[in-house]
Amino acid sequence: METASPGVRADIWLWAARFFKTRALARQALASAKIVSGGVACKPARTLRVGEMLHIARGEERFEIEVLALGNTRGPAAVAQTLYRETAASSAARAALREQRRLQQAGTPQPPPARPGKRDRRRIHAFKQILPTRTDAGLRPGVASKVSECACCRRTQPAGM
């Protein structure tokens, strides 16, 4: 007769602790050696025990956690956070990475929307109505002499405007 070992499968625990949205994603991360315990890559069926240190690589984020409790059912996030404790160094490194990403995005200009909205379209029409439309008005070569069609909504303008 076998006695049940005090532990839980690694893929189930990672799913229950909400590191991965599905067990399949947890299994895939374990199979691709993204979770390491004691310098050795974990496999999905490996039994985790209380007190183990895990190194988890999820995208660009890196977690270093200690298993505090075992759980095999997925519950609320508040309950899931009681299953582990993240080290201070890991938390600081993730905060620094988050700040670095925020600063990189702050310097990047946001692209304009694909099409102008109603307000923008009205401003474009108003602006185009004050442009000179005749070639004898002293326009430089290469500048459009009249606005016959609005580029933003393809609405035709009268030749005199």
67 and 135 share one domain: no
* Tens digits of residue pLDDT in 128-145: 887 655 554 555 555 554
pTM above 0.85, yes or no: no
* Tens digits of residue pLDDT in 13-34: 999 999 999 999 999 999 999 9
Q: How many domains does the chain have?
A: 2
The parent domain of residue 61 ranges over 8-97
Asked whether residue 110 is assigned to any structural domain, the reply reads no
Task: Tell me how far CA of residue 78 lies from CA of 89, 108, 142, in angstroms.
Answer: 22, 35, 65
* Tens digits of residue pLDDT in 71-83: 989 999 999 999 9
Asked whether residue 2 is assigned to any structural domain, the reply reads no
Asked whether residue 108 is assigned to any structural domain, the reply reads no
76 and 139 share one domain: no
